[in-house]
Amino acid sequence: MSDTISDPATTLEVMPDAAGHFGPYGGRFVPEALIAALDQLTEAYASAGQDPAFRARLDHLNTTYAGRPSALTEAERLSAHAGGARMLLKREDLNHTGSHKINNVLGQALLTLRMGKTRVIAETGAGQHGVAAATACALLGLECVVYMGEEDTRRQALNVARMKMLGATVIPVTTGSRTLKDAMNEAMRDWVTNVESTHYLIGTVAGPSPFPRMVRDFQRVIGDEARAQVLALTDRLPDAVAACVGGGSNAIGIFTAFLDDPGVRLYGFEAGGDGVETGRHASSITGGAPGVLHGARSYLLQDEMGQTIESHSISAGLDYPGVGPEHAWLNDIGRATYRPVTDAQAMDAFSLLCRTEGIIPAIESAHAIAGAVEVGRELGPDSIVLINLSGRGDKDVDTAAAWFGVVTGEPA
Amino acid sequence: MTTLAETFARTRSEGRAALIGYLPAGYPSYAGCVDALVAMVESGVDIVEIGLPYSDPLMDGPTIQQAVEAALAAGVTTREVLKTVEAVAATGAATLVMTYWNPVERYGVGAFADAMAAAGGAGVITPDLTPDEAEPWLAAVASAGIDPVFLVAPSSTAARIRRVTEVSRGFVYVASTMGVTGVRDAVSDRAEALVARVRPVTDLPLSVGLGVSTAAQAAEVAAYADGVIVGSAFVRRLIDAPDPAAGVAAVRALAVELAAGVRAARH
């Protein structure tokens, strides 16, 4: 598939509406100072969508730089642990920079150039989006500043080093819980101050309109490719599609191609942390309530006063108290099902995939594996489960080694 | 309740701009905040703006963030914010709440507007709610009889300025600069240019905020605006004070200086 950016004429007909609403979710809850920039971005994105040269340049980068299309791997030994269901892995872990994040950053970095802006800011949790943003900026000659919670700079020191090597400035954020949500606050503060020169390259399908729609469109290449690959391999559509959900960009990326296939069940696996019942988790849909955070209405973890509650997950990339508004809507209309996967279940699946398939997944993606194994057991041996393996686990080796006790000494 | 319209009518009749002072509720404590706000009113602040502490204050710089984090850590609640409104409104000063949107939604949009009115509040400033998403809020404030205050920014187009001024009541909050709250060495010259763009579009008073901290800056802004909003400078006085009493004294001293500033302006 070369259709890496969808035709606005078809996507806008469905969702969101012109103001960025997915049912009651989405929209724009931002300071007035940012409205002009969001309008500029909306226009630049619309004109890029109709410009064959823009699409051609993005397609070219995707194939010659990012490594698209990514492979579809049949996980035959994993199947035995999933009730005999056929398990098909969409290998976003094989992309340049090691995750699906590259799909979005290349698109938005090209838009930055198109808008005549010279500086990019980004927030990052695990560092995967920060590394991808730094990569795209190095490639296209843009200045890059990445905000990262101080807590996460410790958990993901390797990715901090990668970003710096790529020429980005990494700013540790010391306010609030010192994690992804605070990095996003700080990026917003930078943006409102420097908006004339700066594009805020949001890494997920959250934030004010047009980000949820635009990031979805840049990520839908995952599902568009996978749908064709599954059809070519099996002569039919999968019974289920599984992905992990933090902000939810890899999940939206693979879900979108199947939204109009009613026979295909869509499953999003949220980070259950210590278990939703413990209150220490990052399951915004399963364990949160609708509200407004970071520019959009969606499900979020909040107390009775509307203060954001800190999230908890072994996976820095899923450790976020909100979720993209389209997921909130897909949940409410029953098109997708969201379930929590605990740290322990995710790490069991991490180990399982390492040992059955020789693939070390990102801990984020291990949540999808854990959930998909359950779905495979539920659907039985004649079923086909497509799993978005959204990233590789190189960045997580320290965390995993400490979890499994395979090395002695200080955990990172 | 003293309304914003009454207050601006009075300051206009006195030939000067109104002084608007901000503190977040619950800092350094519920009582300490009320004491400081009452001291402001006694020292020449015309309109009080009470911040509702929020976990993700993305329009605020480090000074206000620090105070808000402390207030939240000490357990401030929305009900305490409303109690603060009641205590300050009892002085006779027009009293506003400045709040990010999610705490209002969580409290209940209609319930919050009604509770503000019941506490004697004059209006609510919503920095992350623009007119585009404000339909339920506009209905709620109209029914409660309080004023919704929206912001214009230097980046606002003519069409946006028309939209914001159409739905604002009481006054329009003119953000002096592109940026977050905080003390600045100079008030951006974009403020005066923005006031000049908004003035022909509306009869509402125009109050300038972001970056005003000294009497000289207050006088400079008061020469072209109807209201001068000071926040971080007051909060800074409380943060730097060795004890709550010294904090109240420092807030009082700043209010006296700023009140002289808005009276010294040449109109």
- Residue B135, Cβ density class (10 Å: 0-12 exposed, 13-18 middle, ≥19 buried): exposed
Chain B nearest-CA residue for A19: B132
pLDDT in tens, B56-79: 999 999 999 999 999 999 999 999
CA angle at residue A178 from A177 to A182, to 5 degrees? 85
To the query of whether residue B49 is one of the catalytic residues in this protein, the response is yes
d(CA B75, CA B8): 35
Which pLDDT belongs to residue A125? Answer: 87
d(CA A332, CA A345): 26
Mean pLDDT over residues A111-130, rounded? 95
Q: What is the mean pLDDT of chain B?
A: 96
Are residues B106 and A302, on separate chains, in Cβ contact within 8 Å? yes
Are residues B179 and A305, on separate chains, in Cβ contact within 8 Å? no
Please report which confidence band the pLDDT of residue A410 belongs to, taking 50, 70 and 90 as the band edges.
low
Of A298, A365, A383, A390, the active-site residue reads: A390
- Of A184, A188, A318, the C-alpha closest to A250 is A318
Nearest CA-CA distance, residue B186 and chain A, Å: 16
Nearest CA-CA distance, residue A181 and chain B, Å: 8
- Of A200, A3, A218, the C-alpha closest to A104 is A218
Nearest CA-CA distance, residue B77 and chain A, Å: 7
Q: Is the model's pLDDT at A176 over the cut of 90? A: no
Domain boundaries, given as residue ranges, for chain B: 4-151+212-264
Of A90, A99, A101, A364, the active-site residue reads: A101
pLDDT in tens, A274-318: 999 999 999 999 999 999 999 999 999 999 999 999 999 999 899
d(CA B59, CA A191): 11
Looking at the partner chain, which of A32, A192, A293 has a beta carbon nearest the beta carbon of B102? A293
**With contact defined as beta carbons under 8 Å apart, do A76 and A187 qualify?**
no
| More confident call, A318 vs A178 | A318
Are residues A29 and B128, on separate chains, in Cβ contact within 8 Å? yes
- The reply to whether the predicted model has a pTM over 0.90 is yes
Of B14, B35, B42, B60, the active-site residue reads: B60
d(CA A231, CA B21): 65
Q: Is the model's pLDDT at B220 over the cut of 90? A: yes
| More confident call, A325 vs B186 | A325
CA B195 to chain CA centroid, Å, is 17
DSSP 8-state code for residue B226: S
Which residues of A have a CB under 8 Å from any CB of B?
A: 19, 27-37, 175-176, 181-182, 185, 188-189, 192-196, 291-295, 302, 304-308
CA–CA distances in Å: residue B146 to residues A29, A103, A162, B120: 21, 48, 53, 9
> What torsion, rounded to 10 degrees, do the Cα atoms A150, A156, A158, A161 define?
-30
Of B35, B42, B46, B49, the active-site residue reads: B49
User: What is the CATH architecture of B4-151+212-264?
Assistant: Alpha-Beta Barrel (3.20)
What is the number of CB-based contacts under 8 A between chain A and chain B?
116
Which pLDDT belongs to residue A46? Answer: 96
Q: Return the percentage of chain B with pLDDT > 70, whole number.
A: 99
Query: Which parts of A110-233 are beta strand (E)?
Result: 119-124, 143-149, 169-173, 198-200
Please count the other Cβ atoms lying within 10 Å of the Cβ belonging to residue A411: 11
Please report which confidence band the pLDDT of residue B8 belongs to, taking 50, 70 and 90 as the band edges.
very high
- Of A364, A357, A96, A395, the C-alpha closest to A242 is A364
Three-state SS at A392? strand
Q: Is the model's pLDDT at A411 over the cut of 80? A: no
Are residues A189 and B160, on separate chains, in Cβ contact within 8 Å? no
Three-state SS at A204? coil
DSSP 8-state code for residue A95: S
Q: What is the mean pLDDT of chain A?
A: 94
Mean pLDDT over residues B98-118, rounded? 98
Of A6, A79, A90, A123, the active-site residue reads: A123
What residue type is assigned to position A216 of the chain?
Answer: R
Please report which confidence band the pLDDT of residue A10 belongs to, taking 50, 70 and 90 as the band edges.
very low
Q: Is the model's pLDDT at A224 over the cut of 70? A: yes
d(CA A132, CA A143): 14
Are residues B58 and A188, on separate chains, in Cβ contact within 8 Å? yes
Q: Is the model's pLDDT at A409 over the cut of 90? A: no
- Of A98, A114, A306, the C-alpha closest to A199 is A114
Please count the other Cβ atoms lying within 10 Å of the Cβ belonging to residue A71: 14
Two tokens at B134?
A: 């404000």
d(CA A384, CA A382): 7
> What torsion, rounded to 10 degrees, do the Cα atoms A314, A316, A322, A325 define?
-120
- Of A137, A130, A136, the C-alpha closest to A172 is A130
In sequence order, which residues have a C-beta less than 8 Å from that of residue B219 and are 6 or more positions away? B261, B262, B264, B265
What residue type is assigned to position B72 of the chain?
Answer: L
Looking at the partner chain, which of B69, B105, B151 has a beta carbon nearest the beta carbon of A31? B151
Are residues A291 and B160, on separate chains, in Cβ contact within 8 Å? no
Two tokens at A292?
A: 């407004």
pLDDT in tens, B132-179: 999 999 999 999 999 999 999 999 999 999 999 999 999 999 999 888
Q: Return the percentage of chain A with pLDDT > 70, whole number.
A: 95
Chain A nearest-CA residue for B126: A31
Half-sphere exposure of B197 (CA within 13 A, CB side): 20
